[in-house]
A and B are shown apart, each in its own frame.
Chain A
Amino acid sequence: MEKTLLEVKNLKKYFSTSAGPLHAVDSISFKLRRGTTLGVVGESGCGKSTLGRLILHLLPVTDGQIFYDGEDITNPNRKKLRLLRRNMQMVFQDPYSSLNPRQTVADIIGEPLVIYKVSESKKDLGIRTRDIMEIVGLPSRYETTYPHELDGGRRQRVGLGRAIALNPQLIVCDEPVSALDVSIQAQILNLLQDLQKQLGLTYLFITHDLSVVKHISDEIMVMYLGVMVEKSPTDDLFKWQLHPYTKALLSAIPQAKLGIKKDRILLRGELSSPINPPNACRFAPRCNYAIDMCYRSNPSLEKVLPDHFVACHRVREINEF
């Protein structure tokens, strides 16, 4: 078993709004082992991006702790943060808005090297930049190209190049392929897997697309309205979905195949408000199995199978074991 690289304990993020505190991330805990990929799945507004941003300190934490390599990094000072950022990077959904339109590809990829004074000379910087471009599959003729001249797939390669420039250990990928066409999406997913093998990277992979997350993750965590409802190794989750929300989510994916039996579970209604949520199961208003108890208390995460955690009062009844 690989060592834990990132650990999150009871992480909370509340945004204050005029109507009361908005619980974007509520008591999330998990461990991420070195060299593996944890997929975070959920629909818009479930807090998955906020979670990624909290880990990278792009947003201040309300409560809870984050450990990196065994060290508490919840509230780092500036100097510490600077060192941390070298090891933790992020790839964003929209490769266009995350790249400076006035910098060339070589400038964008080389900038982290300049900021952290990694290169001794201009010549060395050029060599390193070209090396990185080669790793992410960008021919050197693109060195002097600007982002607007590139298509979405190549832009995402530039974003990846910048993220791996300082040889980080952890990369938070926030929907890195959702803005791309399927044929290009497959190219970038393959590249992400190659980089993981080559450089021993650890990914926190945030997405709404279950087929993508199945393809790339070792473990999957399903979020609903700021809370974790189910977490398990990837293969197990696709064999046994134990939480009613995960069941519905999986059955809702339109599959590119004919003649498969469709027992679609249609959910009633839409997401409830994350502002001042009551002490109840967040999913209860849309759940087909909800009983009185689900509206009265919030279920805690419990281990149902080895490595398989579910937060549901009725998990044993529904799944009959």
Chain B
Amino acid sequence: MDTHEQPVLEVKDLVVRYYVEGSVVEAVNGISFSLYKGKTLGLIGETGAGKTTTALSLLRLVPDPPGVIESGEILYKGKNVLSLPEKEVRQYRGNDVAMIFQDPMSSLNPVMHVGDQIRESIEIHENVSKYEALDRAKRMLESVEIPSSRYYEYPHQFSGGMKQRVVIAMALACSPQVLIADEPTTALDVTIQAQVLDMMRQLIDEYKMSMLMITHDLGVVAEICDFVAIIYAGEIVESGTIEDIFNNTKHPYTIGLFNSLPDLDSPTSRLNAIPGLMPNPSDLPTGCRFHPRCQHATTLCSTEKPHKEDVSATHTVSCWNYKEIERQ
């Protein structure tokens, strides 16, 4: 990634654990990445890989107990977010970094006008008059292509795609520098997903924001991301620019993810599924976390954890055998 530019948000060696009923869930195990101005980083992984825990850590929203951020740093414009006093964190959330969740219904208050929910977030974060906040909330609605005449309607009167657009308007109301989107289009139909993605891309260009896009859908990533990090069992196994990951795939897990997808262009009679299952995060395998499912695994893989190696200036991979592996 471009080293000349200062990152807006930087995560260094983040470790998050959950302590549940005597066992320790190792959710995030030493993750590092940076977000740059106007760029989108895609964080890709399957259920239980630690994607959402990472996102919640960025906002200091990991439920505690049982969750504990054990170590690491989260630097927003050079300030460590993890050591900020609670009062400043409240300013940071929403003002500097905002989040969109997967299910729009659970982020909206069912008994409050949608417009007022946007106005509320403006009033909390900025010192503006009621009329100004109302006016800005209406303009936010228009910017996500909802007529402001619908300001006084309730969430249940909106369809799924429109609800997600309201949530996006809420998140952008205070013009944050960083937007975290946790599977923002997973609950939507494809034609609506296309509309929402298109709109998000325009807004990001307009506001020059950085975005962390959390998803399991490599198709969505290809649409919207500049950089990609692949996460498996709480660790980033491969990261790079979108071209690095899509055209020069190195890690066997990333290769497996691509091969599991049915291809629309070239028919295959059988999919190359990754054998086995995600490891249990309270009982992770030794060595490389992926070795029990990897067809290239050697004895070294089962005992020693691979180091992060540079494939190129932008591309890193954590695998002992990546040089010998070719994507079919």
Query: Looking at the complex, which one of B222, B272, B274 makes contact with A257 (CB distance below 8 Å)?
Result: B222
A185 touches B222 (CB 8 A): no
B246 touches A211 (CB 8 A): no
Tell me whether B84 is interfacial, beta carbon within 8 Å: no
**Number of A residues contacting the other chain (C-beta, 8 Å)?**
39
| Complex CA distance for A215 and B259, rounded to whole angstroms | 13
Among residues 284 to 308 in chain A, which have CB atoms less than 8 Å away from a CB atom of chain B? none
B222 touches A182 (CB 8 A): no
A190 touches B262 (CB 8 A): no
| Complex CA distance for A214 and B218, rounded to whole angstroms | 18
A255 touches B197 (CB 8 A): no
**Number of B residues contacting the other chain (C-beta, 8 Å)?**
46
A256 touches B219 (CB 8 A): yes
A215 touches B268 (CB 8 A): yes
Q: Using known A-B contacts A43-B190, A181-B46, A186-B271, determine if residue A258 contacts B262 with beta carbons closer than 8 Å.
A: no
Query: Looking at the complex, which one of A254, A258, A267 makes contact with B243 (CB distance below 8 Å)?
Result: A258
Q: Chain B: which residue is nearest A286 at the CB level?
A: B191
Across the interface, which residues of A come within 8 angstroms of B191, CB to CB?
43, 248-249, 252, 267
A258 touches B246 (CB 8 A): yes
Q: Using known A-B contacts A186-B274, A258-B242, A258-B243, determine if residue A253 contacts B264 with beta carbons closer than 8 Å.
A: yes
| Complex CA distance for A211 and B268, rounded to whole angstroms | 11
Query: Looking at the complex, which one of A181, A193, A248, A271 makes contact with B159 (CB distance below 8 Å)?
Result: A271
Give the one of A43, A182, A183, A212 with max B CB within 10 A.
Answer: A183
Across the interface, which residues of A come within 8 angstroms of B271, CB to CB?
186, 189-190, 215
B257 touches A183 (CB 8 A): yes
Across the interface, which residues of B come within 8 angstroms of A267, CB to CB?
191, 194-195
Give the one of B219, B273, B278 with max A CB within 10 A.
Answer: B273
Q: How far is the CB of B182 from chain A (nearest CB, A)?
A: 16
Q: Chain B: which residue is nearest A256 at the CB level?
A: B218
Q: Chain A: which residue is nearest B46 at the CB level?
A: A181
B273 touches A255 (CB 8 A): no
A255 touches B222 (CB 8 A): yes
Q: Chain A: which residue is nearest B190 at the CB level?
A: A252
Among residues 230 to 289 in chain A, which have CB atoms less than 8 Å away from a CB atom of chain B? 235, 238, 248-249, 251-258, 264, 266-267, 270-271
Query: Looking at the complex, which one of A181, A186, A254 makes contact with B222 (CB distance below 8 Å)?
Result: A254
Query: Looking at the complex, which one of A153, A208, A238, A257 makes contact with B246 (CB distance below 8 Å)?
Result: A257
Across the interface, which residues of A come within 8 angstroms of B261, CB to CB?
182, 186, 211, 256
